[in-house]
């Protein structure tokens, strides 16, 4: 029975993966017309190299079979990697500059305790510039979307409010400005930038002491401490509100194809 169930699952999984690849291809090809030729090229490249190598090295029939299997597998791998990268570029290009794009990119991070609520903690109803707040085991993240100069003071006020409830805890607050201006993080680099934010810096004395006491501890906060922090931040936001006039709805983050951005 167990073997039959596993076989049925494998049969369902196969067509599902193929269907997803077709959907990603169609999604990407709408904006990237060179995609078919590029995918064909990266798939055939290892195959051509394998054939040329076999002719010059005078392989036997067994070597030919093994090598062809290997180069076809390499071709499929390069095909998938190229399709994923091109789909990512198209996805970011469609989102770039749209209100809520930044939080859409980060909303699917599901590791290291990351949490980025969809509702902004501050928004300018006129320009639609906004600030979101997220948390993780390594600290608190303030994400500003819009002009760097216009969001500078709101970012400072948000950080001061946060430090008012985390005073004495040494929890770091990372301020990230997203946009195309000098000194801002581009949308395509946002996820990587957030994941690179680390609490434990070797040159920081207090964190090096923590590492000596807890050599196996990877993060600054434990799960219980992070839950407590999130509760306090929610209470803070309920008291402060969005700071916008009544009747003005906070913008909704733009829809993003999670399948395309993840490449599956």
Residues forming beta bridges with residue 145, ordered by sequence position: 130, 178
Q: Whose CA is closest to 223, among 162, 138, 139, 137?
A: 137
142 sits in which H/E element: strand 139-145
SS3 state at 263: coil
Q: How far apart are CA 116 and CA 169, in angstroms?
A: 21
Task: Tell me the per-residue pLDDT of 180-203, one tens digit each, with 9 for 90 and over.
Answer: 888 888 888 888 888 887 644 433
145 sits in which H/E element: strand 139-145
DSSP for residue 132: E
Q: Which two tokens stand for residue 28?
A: 């990407």
pTM of the model: 0.65
Task: Tell me the per-residue pLDDT of 16-40, one tens digit each, with 9 for 90 and over.
Answer: 878 888 888 888 888 888 899 999 9
Residue with token string 């639609």? 128
Task: Tell me the per-residue pLDDT of 49-106, one tens digit each, with 9 for 90 and over.
Answer: 999 988 888 888 888 899 999 999 999 999 999 998 888 788 777 777 777 888 888 8
List the domain boundaries for the chain.
2-95, 101-253
């Amino acid at each position: 029975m167990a073997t039959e169930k596993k076989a049925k699952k494998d049969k369902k999984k196969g067509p599902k993966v193929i269907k997803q690849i077709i959907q990603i291809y169609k999604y990407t090809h709408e904006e990237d017309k060179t995609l078919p030729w590029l995918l064909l090229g990266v798939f055939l490249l290892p195959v051509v190299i394998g054939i040329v190598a076999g002719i010059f090295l005078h392989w036997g029939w067994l070597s030919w079979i093994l090598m062809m299997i290997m180069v076809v597998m390499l071709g499929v791998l390069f095909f998938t990697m190229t399709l994923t990268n091109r789909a990512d570029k198209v996805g970011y290009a469609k989102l770039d500059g749209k209100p809520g794009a930044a939080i859409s990119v980060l909303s699917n991070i599901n590791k290291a305790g990351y949490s980025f609520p969809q509702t902004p903690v501050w928004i300018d109803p006129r320009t639609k510039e906004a600030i979101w707040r997220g948390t993780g085991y390594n600290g608190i993240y303030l994400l500003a979307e819009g002009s760097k100069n216009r969001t500078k003071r709101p970012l400072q006020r948000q950080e001061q409010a946060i430090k008012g409830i985390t005073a004495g805890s040494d929890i770091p607050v990372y301020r990230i400005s997203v946009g195309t201006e000098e000194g801002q993080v581009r949308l395509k680099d946002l996820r990587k930038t957030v994941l690179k934010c680390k609490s434990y810096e070797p040159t920081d004395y207090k964190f090096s002491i923590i590492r000596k006491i807890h050599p196996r501890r990877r993060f600054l906060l434990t799960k219980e401490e992070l839950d407590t922090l999130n509760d306090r931040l929610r209470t803070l936001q309920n008291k402060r509100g969005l700071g916008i006039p009544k009747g003005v709805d906070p913008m909704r983050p733009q829809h993003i194809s999670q399948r395309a951005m993840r490449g599956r």
